[in-house]
Chain A
């Protein structure tokens, strides 16, 4: 079946540091890939997405590239801010409409001033 594996957390960085959160997946076919973010006390917000191989999703300075050859979708940001402190979830869905999302374990990011 489909599965998503994220790097173990928590991750603690200083402001302006470079961020990478690793995500790899197992799926049949050509899934769509997503990063969701959950700020403290809030629900899940879509951060970025990619729907086919070599697509790059980007939003708010975050980027992730759909790598089919390595089945990965690593999240990166060049310079993190304190306000980026949150839990980040990698997720996939099958290429058909209405498919369930399969989530990774989530990675807690804390950015210190």
Chain B
């Protein structure tokens, strides 16, 4: 069964460094997303991406964040200058879109630890 994959599974970085989190969505899906889950808190939406552009973003997704689909298969989230409060589990998701369904399929996540 097709699945969303994410790399790395765990990333440790120092405050102020740039990180890139990588995702490979399910191949025939059209919509791509990033969410994050700070330890012990609810899952929060960051951004959605469709047709090579951002379709929606939350207030969390400020100028420090960017997304890219560089080669038609990978989907990346870049944090330019990490802060301690960026420590969280980051989930990538993809969705086939209408009419095939609205559900989103999640990857296993990347745990980002900022020290």
Contacts and interface: CB of A to CB of B under 8 A. Distances in A.
A103 B43 contact: yes
Contacts of A104: 42
A32 B91 CA distance: 20
Contact of A98 (B44, B97, B103): B97
Interface of A: 32, 34, 36, 42-46, 49, 51, 89, 91, 93, 95-106
Contacts, number: 65
A101 B45 contact: yes
B103 A49 contact: yes
B25 interface: no
A99 B95 CA distance: 10
Nearest to A103: B43
Interface of B: 30-31, 33, 35, 42-45, 48, 50, 55-56, 58, 91, 93, 95, 97-98, 102-109
Contact of B102 (A42, A97, A105): A97
Contacts of A101: 33, 35, 43, 45, 93, 104
Given A97-B31, A104-B42, A43 B102 contact: no
B107 A98 contact: no
Nearest to B57: A100
Closest 4 CB pairs of A and B: A97-B97, A100-B45, A44-B106, A43-B108
Contacts of A43: 91, 106-109
